[in-house]
Structure 1
Amino acid sequence: MVSLPGLLSTLSIVSLLLFSQLSLSFAELNSQNLTDREALLSIKAKITKDPTNTLSSWNESSPLCQWSGIRCDQDNRVSTLNLQTLGLTGFISPYIGNLSSLRYLYLQGNQLSGSLPDELSHLKRLQVMNVSSNLIQGNIPLNITMCTKLTIMDLSVNRFSGQIPDMIGTLSKLQSLNFAQNQLSGTIPRSIGNLSSLVTLNLGTNTLHGTIPDELGKLHRLEQLQLTLNNLTGTVPSSIYNLSALVNFNLASNELYGELPSNIGFLLPNLLIFHVCINSFTGQIPPSLHNITKVQSLRMSHNYLVGSVPPGLDKLHDLTMYNIGYNQLVGTLDFITSLTNSRNLTFLAADSNLFHGSIPPSIGNLSSTLSKLYLGGNQISGTIPKSIGQLSNLTLLSIGNNLISGEIPSEISHLKQIQELDLAKNNLTGKIPALLGNLSRITQLNLNGNKLNGSIPTSFGAFDNLLLLDLSNNNLEETIPNTIFTLTSLTSLLNLSHNYLTGPLPREIGMLGKIDAIDLSSNNLVGNIPDSIGQCESLQVLSFSDNLFSGNIPNTIGDLKALQSLDLSANKLTGLIPEVLEELQALQFLNLSNNDLSGTVPTEGVFKNHSAINLQGNPKLCLSFDSCASHRKKSKVIIIAVVSSISLALCFVIVLLFWALFMKKKGKDARVSSINNSIKATYKMVSYDEILKATRNFDPTYLIGRGSFGTVYKGTLWDGMIVAVKVLNLTIKGASKSFAAECEALRNVRHRNLVKLVTLCLSLDFANNDFQALVYEFMENGSLEEWIRGRKRNENGESLSVLERLNIAIDVACAMDYLHNDSGGTIVHCDLKPSNILLDKEMCAKVSDFGLAKLLVNPSGETEAISSTGGLKGSIGYIPPEYGFGGKPSTKGDVYSYGVMLLELVTGKSPTDDLFVGGLSLEKWVRAAFPDEVEKLVDPVLCLKGHTCSPELSLESQMKCVVSMARVGLSCAIDTPDTRCTMQDALHELKSIKKILLQS
């Protein structure tokens, strides 16, 4: 039996032990709580800016668990740190790793910089980590994979670089992985396929390359797949199309190719978003896509899809976006009627395809929510339906670059929300409706390249938000309304060029103080250039050329400090060249040619660079003071000589008049016989009647194309020979000279890569008018331009392969080397471009169109024997810089044009592409990417991906070939003539490239 004192003694010991244990527990908790407190204060110390003063509560006077953004668990340990969207600036302290009980970390929406601390790996209980939308850089820590309980990991919208850790696949509990909008490189780790719980995978907007791993097809719970804006290549693994839970399928802006499965709509029945735009997918639009009745957004633009739009669009009631632009789709626009059931549609694009027919009137029945409508760049004809005015919420309407005719319907003025209106490059006629002035929100109005007449509506003065106005290349008349120049919102472009506008330029032009470019060239404007032009302080490009301006060049132009290009050529300007032009540091191009300027030419600034200025056609100008003084002395002698010569001149004129009357009586036959006898002697001649029979009375169905000086028809001669007949339009200035130049250039040349001139026609038509035609061998495969633009393809629907492009480049180089060096006299082509390179049945390239050719006495090009036309030689984009500043045609000019053509072969981009604005050119674009990033610029239709065009050649060797071709193109297209390679050098280099390619 235990005594009472013993029992009490035992209880006392037990109590002491329990108290001791509790004291230790409390001490341990206090110690852990203190560790959290110190960690948080260290985190606060790394924050340099706290705009909301949120962290002021983090101090010693308040309990830890009451601090702003902090939540604790039942043990008073920090379990949540939430500092999102506070505008914090600073760094993430490595002491964050001491918050050992942390489960939820929210730091998104701040301006935190530096790197992500390695110490985050200590957070073994962390489930959610969101540091998105900051400025964090460096690599993703490899040991982040030690946070094995992570379910959400969001590092998006930062500056992370390097590769995605291969061990990312060990985070088996991950449901959401978001690394989008960083600078990550390398490939997509195959281990991601092990994340069986993954619902969201977003790696978009990085620089990831390689193929999409087939292992991603194992993510059967995946709903969100976003790999957009990377450099991914290859085909999409078929396993990806079996992820039936996918709601968002976004692979846009990569380099993927192959066909989309025809049954994709059945494989992915839950899709709401399907974006595969800006890739190289081929084949047809899968009809099953239109069976996904809940789909909201379909974007398939900028691919190589063919065929027509499949039926079923009428079932897609929830559709908000349908974008099939920039493909090769055919058929009519009848599918628009089916889309009238999509009452939530906000975006519709079918531009830059091959659609034909008219715009259906049902377009007005599309959703009232429709905001953007793109139908430009097709072959649409007919008129603009009046019903288009019913689209009351339209902010953008683009139907330019079509064949639309008729007048602009006044109903367009009902589009009160419209901001961008593009009706350019059609066949629109009639007057511009004054009611368009009611479009108060419009920012861009483009009506250029039509046949509009009448005056510019004064109502346009109500455009308070207008940034760009382009009415160029029409038949507009009368004066420019003063209200146009009061549009102070105009900051981008005012282009009224190539019309018939008259009258003086009002001083209100100075109100356009923020505008970048003004082009009023090729009109009939008169009077002085207003001094107020100097108030346009932001002006970078100014062209008043080809008008009737008179008086002096105003000194106020010297106030245009941003001016880069000034063209006042072909006017009636007089007086001195203002010395203030020397002070314009930004000025790179100055054309004052064909005026009546006098005095000494300034010598500083832009005038130091003779290739940057054009002063031709100003006979009173002199290069120095001494030469001007000498000129004045000589002028006295000249006056006496002129007066004494007048009598002789009058006598000579009288004789000429009698001679002209005599020649007129001899009739039209005398004019025909005056054509160069040497040309007649060289070529076999055919009659006008024979040409008429060969072309079936110039049947429009035989029309091949149109050139600068004439029209080309396909024809069949009496002996069955198929030919191309170029009929000269003799009403065009320079056409006869072009005819003579072409005959002279081809008279003594023979080469397999030059189009053969078969015969000529110098005759009279049945109306007794002069008739001239050139008859060439017919080239079955059309022009190189047609192949580059995708208007021609081979029987397999493929474009030119790498090897075919290289062969064409070699063929052209052979022809040009022959003309420059081996033709018995140096011939300069002056207009080398893809439309003048023709391909025969065997795809052999031949140079054609010598209408601008120059025959030089010696290879230096200093003396010219013949010329076709006066003025600038060549086509925009291919003209070497020195020609624009008065330089004489030379072999170096041809080399430059050849270089541009070679870069076009590689990239598929025309030098006049809309991409090349603001000083950017095709050559500069390629040079900036050379050599490391040239692959990104390669023409996407090149058969590199599956190399079906050249299966015998490896992808690597083809890409090396393309880069080498770009290198040759760049060495040809150098601005300075003396530093360009010769055509012989280019030919030798290209042949070496071919040899290496075929040996690989």
Structure 2
Amino acid sequence: MRLFKFLGLILTVSSTSFSYSIDRLTKREEETTQKTDCESIESLWKQINSDATNCCDIDGINCDDDNRITKIILNDKGLIGTIPSEIENLTNLKYLVLSDNQLTGNIPSEIRNLKNLISLNLRFNKLTGSIPSEIGNLSQLEELYLSDNYLIGDIPESVKKLNKLLSKLMNNNCLSCDSNTRGCEEQEKDKCKKVLDECRYIESLWKKGSTDKDINCCEIEGIECSVVDNEFHITSINLANKGLTGTIPSDIGRLSKLQTIDLSNNDLNGSIPVISSLDELTTFDLSNNCINCESIKDKSLQNGNEMTCANTLKKNSCEFRCGEGIGECPEGQCCSAKGYCGTTSGYCSLKLGCQDKYGKCAEGRCGELWGSCLKEGECCSAKGYCGTTRSYCKSDLGCQNKFGSCWE
């Protein structure tokens, strides 16, 4: 009996030790998969000293005894690129100063994890996008300096409600601030004008019911804006699968820094605007729309790529446009007087204004909807077709003498 108890005790201890070992192993794996503080911001400090192995040795970066970063003061270091999202791992960080550099892209929303942050200074960079509402999670924040960038939108309410915030500067951006918002009174209208103009050029693609003349399309999902040659421009339009209708605005050819256009899987119609001036354009996708791409002889872009224009004639929902300044109908279709493509009498009847220059017209048809036969001596049959044989011309077979010759 004592032997069984002893064996049971051994099994219990072994099981507990095994569980403890598994727990420690799992914890160790989690620790090794998470990046260290230095690894998390390597893209920044390696620009200063590529030979360094420990960021805590970099002038301007302070660490505690556990090699956790507590302070980053890297202003005016010529830094380029984006602020890494992995900055969220720096949970002991109190001061983050990256001002007077050439940083681009958005302020990462992952900044919300920096719960101990006291000062955030990103002034004088080329940051774009909106101010992340997640900054409102930084309850210890006392200083917030975001001025002299290309930020858009408004200041989030969560940021306005930060209790400990003593000082903030957000001027010289493209923000739509309330004039009473402290620290945001002066916005740099000149550097925002270019992108606002470009937004207006293509507003039929993105603007839905808004009457705000100064709304910035860079806030719209699918439209990317970047700083190019110290100017703020639209650089990418990706509005695929958005249910867009109507025509592509002709002024899209004025977006001089545009690199990508994807308007695929919509119901756009009409002609394709002149884009020969878009020297930066590398992608132009119009697949699955209602645009007659077959009539376009040259689909080449400036970089040698070709616009993608597949399956535009296969959509059942399409009613193609045609006529002067637009182009021809797909093969086998007629161009109506109002400039739509189709195959019924309303489109094909010369009597109703069918435009034979931009599609076929009802040559060989006649009657109330089609009008008279065009060739001299032709008869209009009972079924509305022109011809010269007995089945067309005999009166007792229904020949319509109002629209052509008939035989008695």
Quickly name the TM-score band, shorter chain normalised. 0.3 to 0.5
More helix by share: 1
Higher relative contact order (CA 8 A, sep 6+): 2
Larger radius of gyration: 1
Please, what TM-score do these two structures have when normalized by structure 1?
A: 0.17
Task: Give the TM-score normalised by the residue count of structure 2.
Answer: 0.37
